[in-house]
Structure 1
């Protein structure tokens, strides 16, 4: 699946997008796998309350399933004014 990172998440991880193979069944499990990779992922996912996630371009929760999913995107909450 493709994993996309936006804004400061991308800056902390150092890449805008990567293709990964995962055994994760939920977004939360995917985050745990990513955090275990190296410190830059741990830093990016340290505070999940500061992140939003989209699964196949639809906003989702971290308990969303990954069966058949092609894309997961992580980004900070949107602000407006």
Structure 2
């Protein structure tokens, strides 16, 4: 049985995948600091994801991308990585 309205979600946020990326500055493994949108305000982690995207600078929900913050503990480099959402 298929869902009438399939939803999309981030495979990293939902625990299906991990982010494994080497730092472009020093080559060490970067750590995922979570969704960028969760870092913007105290209650961001508790708000619906699509609502956060609309109000915090990602109005085009059709892209189905989840922004994650990556950080290198070795050299301090940080960057944003867009993760493609998948059907859940």
Larger Rg: 2
Structure ranking higher in helix proportion: 1
TM over 0.5, shorter chain: no
Superposition TM-score, scaled by structure 2 size: 0.24
